[in-house]
Structure 1
Amino acid sequence: MSATTQSPLERRRGRISGPFLAPAVALYTALFIGPTLYSLYTSFTDWDGINSPKWAGTRNYTQLLHDPAFGSAFGNTLKIVFGVGAAIFVLSFGFLLMLREMRGRRLIRGAIFLPHIVSSIVLAIFWGSLLGLDGLVNQTLQAAGADPVEWLRPSWTMSVVLVALVWINTGYYVTILMAGVDRIPASFYEAARLDGANAWQRFRHVTLPLSWDVTAAAAVLWTITSVKIFEFLLAFGGNQGALPPTYQWNNAMFVYGETVGGVTPMNEFGYAAASAVTTLLFVAVLVVVLRRLMRREPLQF
């Protein structure tokens, strides 16, 4: 509706909303827009965190594109986005289908959701004690007469992290997807049963299409979350540069001459900022592509 056709009440509402929105806009600018623009500037400089930044042009980005460690970090991120994401959504819908027919589903849903609300550091310690040489898994293997396995060897760390991420996040996405599934009228499922549809057909033709908007939003949320995974890998050990956030941390960490987790910090804040900006652009492109691929006309029911 144009300004000339707005009623006096609508014009007054627009004038009143400005002062209420101003604090939120100012906070968003100070905490997100400002740091993002400063990171963009820093990415074109050579800065060690102490001396004044020196303009470096596109050197940081050129070095970044030729660094195999950065490419490996992005490859691991794609494994998390698509591989772990597929496992999470398959398990989430599987739990949803089971919970619809079970009593006490709220209690079960709470138990599934519990790992998501526990601190990442606590979960890393739990998994470390579970899979350590003297952990519960190896004790069980020894009790069965098998030899213990070094589950936490460096070459296996990322695989263990992927499994742990599925375990941690499945309950969260069960809760999100259930919000879309619970709004589907039970009469739709009853009609499908009367038409002879089995469980898979009911899921394919009733559950998935009618909850597609929630599923698409959850997929975008998981994509953004995947690129921000930091604490768990840092606390878990292994190659701490294996993901973009930890790669940036290793390049910018302000500890001179100290080796942490087998990695010597380089204190190159400009280079780390270039990595962060590249990651941000990657996420933006990935989200846009994902939204286009998952775009469907909303179904009214």
Structure 2
Amino acid sequence: MTATEAVTATEAIGEPRARRGASVGRTDAHASPLAARRRRLFWPLLLPAVLLYLVFFAGPSLYTVWLSFNKWAGAGPMTFVGLDNYRRLLQDPTFHQSFANTLWIILGVGGLTFLVSFGLTMVLRDMKGRKAARSILFFPNIVPALALSILWGFLFQHDGLADAVVGAVGVEHPPNWLGQSNIFRVIMIGLVWTSTGFYTTILMAAVDQIPPELYEDCELAGANALQKFRYVTLPLMWDVVGVCAVLWTISAVKVFEFIYAFAGAAGQMPDTGVWNTALYTYGEAFASGGIPRYGSASASAVVMVTLVGVLVVLIRRVMRRDTVQF
């Protein structure tokens, strides 16, 4: 190649590059007004959502924290009392019982719910008509908690279905299901019934995403059902289980309607033996039998939120692991 040919080739190569550079420059010039317009519209469009969050969530939450350090009956001036409301909670046997019942719901009801949900997931995984079964299991989640509690009460009333079942197996004198010694256990079983369908639906959706080839390989290797669950199903849906655990922790602390309607009578508060922290907070604020104690109720609410935060952090730490891809 001569020098003249080299220069000509260089010019030929450089010319398209220059044209491409000019084209990119023109594109950026045309895109910059759009980007500037987006930047100008960002805050005006985001502002309504931010205001709603501040007015209906952040503001009331911070006010509740402030109220927990005060004594207030809902009218008149507030009296700053510092940590007195929290000291009162530590010394109140009713709060101790309510806190213990909340832990029973989180751990006991949660553990039994996940055990039943896993069992149903494995049973229904290869069953025909599992979509219909999933809809039936999910039914309690579309019915108001008040209606579910009334139905649950009919089952355990005197000469109800529960008495008929234990009588059919030879028990002559059925227990008093709604007595003080049994009613909280009945409530816990009812919460398992109302929650199982929701988590079974989530777990079944996670199982459906697992490639069937993995189970076929396990069968060729001679693995039984328990081994397939331990080494294939559970590891590949571990992240979903973690999300379910967080969801359950949040919902368990907020359980209110089911206990209130099931154990209460004619709009009256249930006996304090079945209270959880949500009912205790409501009782302090609205059903204390005298002057409302909004400061104490706010302190109880702060303890509830703190409990949820601590448990969620623990769950995330315990269930943390490397991402599994398949």
- Does TM, scored on the shorter chain, surpass 0.5? yes
8 Å CA contact 1:251, 1:265 repeated in 2? no
* CA positional deviation for 1:294: 0.7
Given residue 37 of structure 1, which amino acid in structure 2 is its aligned partner?
L
Q: Distance in 2 between matches of 1:224 and 1:10?
A: 40
Match of 1:138 among 148, 154, 163: 163
Match of 1:168 in 2: 194
Match of 1:239 in 2: 271
* CA positional deviation for 1:178: 1.9
Q: Does 1:250 align with 2:283?
A: yes
Match of 1:193 among 213, 219, 222: 219
Match of 1:3 in 2: none
For residues 130-187 of structure 1, give each alpha carbon's deviation from its aligned partner in whole angstroms, at most 9, with x where no partner exists.
Answer: 1111323224556767234321012212111110011110000011122221111111
Q: What residue ranges of structure 1 are gaps of 5+ in the alignment?
A: 1-6, 256-262
Larger Rg: 2
Which runs of structure 2 are paired with 1:77-226 in the superposition (5 Å)? Answer: 77-139=102-164, 146-226=172-252
Match of 1:300 in 2: 325
8 Å CA contact 1:92, 1:171 repeated in 2? yes
Q: What residue ranges of structure 2 are gaps of 5+ in the alignment?
A: 1-30, 264-269
* CA positional deviation for 1:248: 0.8
Given residue 248 of structure 1, which amino acid in structure 2 is its aligned partner?
T
- TM normalised by structure 1 equals 0.89
Distance 1:39 1:136, change over 3 A: same
CA RMSD between the two structures: 2.1
8 Å CA contact 1:184, 1:210 repeated in 2? yes
* CA positional deviation for 1:73: 1.2
Distance 1:15 1:154, change over 3 A: farther
Distance 1:40 1:203, change over 3 A: same
Q: Secondary structure at the match of 1:154?
A: coil
Q: Secondary structure at the match of 1:30?
A: helix
Q: Distance in 2 between matches of 1:296 and 1:175?
A: 24
Q: Does 1:50 align with 2:71?
A: no
Match of 1:4 in 2: none
User: Which range is displaced more, 37-46 or 144-153?
Assistant: 144-153
More helix per residue: 1 or 2? Answer: 2
8 Å CA contact 1:250, 1:265 repeated in 2? no
* CA positional deviation for 1:95: 0.9
Q: Secondary structure at the match of 1:49?
A: coil
Question: Aligned residue pairs: how many?
Answer: 287
Q: Distance in 1 between matches of 2:301 and 2:195?
A: 24
8 Å CA contact 2:246, 2:315 repeated in 1? yes
Given residue 127 of structure 1, which amino acid in structure 2 is its aligned partner?
W
Match of 1:280 in 2: 305
For residues 65-88 of structure 1, give each alpha carbon's deviation from its aligned partner in whole angstroms, at most 9, with x where no partner exists.
Answer: 121221221111111111111111
Q: Secondary structure at the match of 2:182?
A: helix
For residues 203-262 of structure 1, give each alpha carbon's deviation from its aligned partner in whole angstroms, at most 9, with x where no partner exists.
Answer: 111111111111101100000111000011111124256200100111110x6xxxxxxx
8 Å CA contact 1:39, 1:277 repeated in 2? yes
